[in-house]
Amino acid sequence: MPSYRITKEHVWVGEVPDRPDALGEKLRALSAAGLNLELILARRGRAGQGTMFVAPLRTVEQVEAAEKAGLARAGSIRIIRIEGPNVIGLGAKITTALAQAGINIREYAAAALGERSVTNIAFDSDADGDQAKAVLEQVLG
């Protein structure tokens, strides 16, 4: 099996007004501070408001920029990020391994671009994320 990079990331979250360019304003502020985001997820929530999730933030300067843009660490969301080759059945292999280990998935997002893939999986707790990372390192290592 090909090699995969598996990392554990914290997610940052913030509210975004439901209006044109509100998301763009937040992303420009983060970009101006030098953040190279690997995960951006935004969606409408309740009427007039949306929610955005971003990762990773790794330096004090990045955290300060995120806080200035109105983002905060999402205390309950931890993700495992899996980067590597795009192969048939990868999603099934990942979800089956986690199910067999008794680990419940909170959210799952995957995308492929050509021969490369990236998967982000959220869990309810740090313990679940740690266990999932260990399982996936064995299965995909």
3-state class of 54 per DSSP?
Answer: strand
3-state class of 28 per DSSP?
Answer: helix
> What range defines the domain where residue 30 resides?
12-73
Whether 4 is covered by a domain: the verdict is no
CA 8 from chain center: how many Å? 9
Q: What is the pTM of this model?
A: 0.84
Q: How many CA atoms lie within 13 A of 119 on its CB side?
A: 23
CB atoms within 10 A of CB 26: 22
Instruction: Give tens-digit pLDDT for 34-58.
Output: 888 989 999 988 788 999 999 988 8
Instruction: Give tens-digit pLDDT for 76-113.
Output: 678 999 999 999 999 999 999 999 999 999 999 999 99
CATH of the domain at 40: 3.30.70.260
Show the tokens assigned to 30.
Answer: 């983060």
111 beta partners: 118
Whether 128 is covered by a domain: the verdict is yes
